[in-house]
Chain A
Amino acid sequence: MNELLEILSDLHPDVDFETEENLIEERILDSLDIVSLISEIDDRFDVVIPPEEIVPENFNSAKALWALICRLDEE
């Protein structure tokens, strides 16, 4: 989880990703962020996010994104 927070902070150093729960609705993340997040996650955690998981619910908070990574990692 800490590593993920680090990745997110690199994208937006000004955002508190531990508490922010509306990354998409608040337009904090944009399409470029999503694209780089997906490739970062692939690199660091060796987890490939399939297209059906690229949905707002999975990207709205660091917590949700971490849950997705863990789930995909187990599968």
Chain B
Amino acid sequence: MKQKNVLEYLEQTVVRVPEKVAYADDSFELTFKQVFDQSRAVGSALLNRGLTGEPIVVFMPKHPKTIAAFFGCVYGGNYYVPIDPEMPRFRIELIFANLCPKAVICDEGSLEALQSFNYVGDVLLYDEIASSPIDEAELRAVREKQIDTDPIYIVFTSGSTGVPKGVVACHRSVIDYIEQLSEILSFSEETRFANQSPLYFDACLKELYPTIKFGATAYLTPKQLFMFPIKLVEFLNEHRINTVCWVVSALTMISAFNTFEKVKPEYLHTIAFGSEVFPIKQFNRWRAALPNAKFTNLYGPTETTGMCCFYHATKDFAPDEVIPIGRPFPNREIILLTEENKRAEQGQVGEICVRGTALTLGYYHAFEKTNEVFVQNPLNDRYPELIYRTGDLGKWNEQGELIFISRKDYQIKHMGHRIELGEIEANVNLLEGVSMSCCLFDKEKDKIELFYVGELPEKELFALLKDKLPRYMLPNKVRQLESLPLTANGKLDRMTLKKMMHGE
């Protein structure tokens, strides 16, 4: 029978390798048996309190127990909502307001922080409920009723208006994602992950679920290590890490400081990256340091469950080339739609839209917002079929590979021309002495502003850019920065830059 519940991964694996370490950080570890027992105890405790079919906030820091708490929520027929006490206070308040949760699971350390919020529902201490009795009969009864379109988690993404949107995902889309991803990246029981993503983003699905599917092991890398490149590589070597799925900036942190001249990741053979454009100079350093490793570019919005496109980067890239995002994972289709809602021709720019089981259920308590982007496939006028409009622009290259161009919102009209801000950035990034850049458009003043990091002085940069771009694409203002602000997930924080542009 086909799998319909993510917990079946855990249940099949725990029989095979009960004593193997599933999740660990630098000081604590849980075996598959412990994860299995503790999550069923958590599930039973929730059911005893009548909690099922509810969003349960897991208010805990990045820790192996937090993952067991996630599975515990699912055992109780609930869906978990990860919130790290380190998240900005205002953001947490907005999330609570959206969810109105009936119960929150926290640990000894996060209890005090939780009490500072205006929350009045049930508070459950992880260590207490994880050691409470397991009610097999109740768990079985819940399982019999669960179907594969039931939700298992909500993760919050930034909304352009500043109010976070809760993306609700179900068993079916997560199982489909994990099956395809595992095939593409050749995960196995031998896989040893070092996780980078916070647990409150869907990016951590890449480690959490393949670990229980294969009986692999996932190490939660302490966040602080991403400040110290050599220590980070030593951590990878100490734990014999062979697989990382990281954001690009975490990888470039290592390569940019010439870390490879001192130490190399000895066991690493699978490197997946995404969410950002990999600067070719840094990518080539990685390839030179690990010539036998497999590098894969991944792309996908949270709304279609993790990643939905992949590209195995097996060749050398010239500095002015872009690593494609490649082709869709099996069992989902990418449709590029033009502004007229027609299929884009090869080479023509269109909005990246996704069709298939991968689509999440939509945004929590936000029907209007959901209906704006989860829409009827305009190419299908025969029966209801949803696609997700990503708001990202892309095109098919001559090899039939998808190339990411920019966010739709970064497409502007300036001096009568249609301009992709991404195109300006791409040209700036090619200049010697520039490591990163970001272009913004001030609609009111009709001005393009460029922020960049690098030793190239502003005046010289402008002079060089004149040779590369038509007059109308030249930025009206150029600002050199020490560093570009990043979001919690390590992506460029355009909202903060926008505020800087407006002088806030």
User: Which residue of chain B has the shortest Cβ distance to A58 in the bound complex?
Assistant: B228
Of the candidates A27, A32, A50, A56, the one whose C-beta lies within 8 Å of that of B228 is A56
Spot the interface stretch: B66-74, B258-266, B322-330: B258-266
Report the separation of the CA atoms of residues A55 and B486 in the bound assembly, to the nearest whole angstrom: 22
When distances are taken between beta carbons in the complex, the residues of chain A under 8 Å from B405 are none
When distances are taken between beta carbons in the complex, the residues of chain A under 8 Å from B261 are 51
**CB within 8 Å of B: which residues of A?**
24, 27, 29-32, 34-36, 38-40, 43, 50-52, 54-56, 59
The number of residues on chain B lying at the interface, defined by a beta carbon within 8 Å of a beta carbon of chain A, is: 18
Please determine whether B253 and A31 come into contact, CB atoms closer than 8 angstroms.
Answer: yes
Of the candidates B227, B259, B483, the one whose C-beta lies within 8 Å of that of A51 is B259
User: Which residue of chain A has the shortest Cβ distance to B233 in the bound complex?
Assistant: A51
Of the candidates B229, B455, B486, the one whose C-beta lies within 8 Å of that of A54 is B229
The verdict on A36 contacting B230 (CB below 8 Å), with A24-B224, A27-B224, A51-B262 known, is no
Report the separation of the CA atoms of residues A56 and B229 in the bound assembly, to the nearest whole angstrom: 11
Report the separation of the CA atoms of residues A50 and B228 in the bound assembly, to the nearest whole angstrom: 11
Please determine whether A35 and B259 come into contact, CB atoms closer than 8 angstroms.
Answer: no
Tell me, rounded to whole Å, the shortest Cβ–Cβ distance linking A21 to chain B: 16
The count of A-to-B residue pairs whose CB atoms sit within 8 angstroms is 46
- Taking CB atoms and an 8 Å cut-off, the chain B residues in 460-490 that contact chain A are 482-483, 485-486
Report the separation of the CA atoms of residues A45 and B231 in the bound assembly, to the nearest whole angstrom: 25
Tell me, rounded to whole Å, the shortest Cβ–Cβ distance linking B88 to chain A: 14
Please determine whether B486 and A51 come into contact, CB atoms closer than 8 angstroms.
Answer: no
19 CB-based A-B contacts, threshold 8 Å: A31-B227, A32-B485, A32-B486, A34-B227, A35-B253, A35-B483, A36-B482, A38-B257, A43-B455, A51-B230, A51-B257, A51-B258, A51-B259, A52-B262, A54-B229, A55-B231, A56-B227, A56-B231, A59-B227
Report the separation of the CA atoms of residues A52 and B226 in the bound assembly, to the nearest whole angstrom: 14
The verdict on A54 contacting B257 (CB below 8 Å), with A32-B483, A35-B483 known, is yes
The verdict on A30 contacting B227 (CB below 8 Å), with A35-B253, A51-B261 known, is yes
User: Which residue of chain A has the shortest Cβ distance to B230 in the bound complex?
Assistant: A51
Lowest 9 A-B CB distances belong to which pairs? A36-B482, A31-B227, A36-B483, A51-B259, A34-B227, A51-B257, A31-B226, A51-B230, A51-B262
Report the separation of the CA atoms of residues A39 and B257 in the bound assembly, to the nearest whole angstrom: 11
The verdict on A29 contacting B227 (CB below 8 Å), with A51-B257, A51-B258, A54-B257 known, is yes
Report the separation of the CA atoms of residues A69 and B258 in the bound assembly, to the nearest whole angstrom: 19
Report the separation of the CA atoms of residues A31 and B485 in the bound assembly, to the nearest whole angstrom: 11
Report the separation of the CA atoms of residues A38 and B231 in the bound assembly, to the nearest whole angstrom: 16
User: Which residue of chain A has the shortest Cβ distance to B256 in the bound complex?
Assistant: A35
Please determine whether A55 and B228 come into contact, CB atoms closer than 8 angstroms.
Answer: yes
Report the separation of the CA atoms of residues A35 and B230 in the bound assembly, to the nearest whole angstrom: 14
Please determine whether A39 and B482 come into contact, CB atoms closer than 8 angstroms.
Answer: yes
When distances are taken between beta carbons in the complex, the residues of chain B under 8 Å from A51 are 229-230, 257-259, 261-262
User: Which residue of chain B has the shortest Cβ distance to A29 in the bound complex?
Assistant: B227
Report the separation of the CA atoms of residues A24 and B455 in the bound assembly, to the nearest whole angstrom: 27
Report the separation of the CA atoms of residues A43 and B455 in the bound assembly, to the nearest whole angstrom: 9
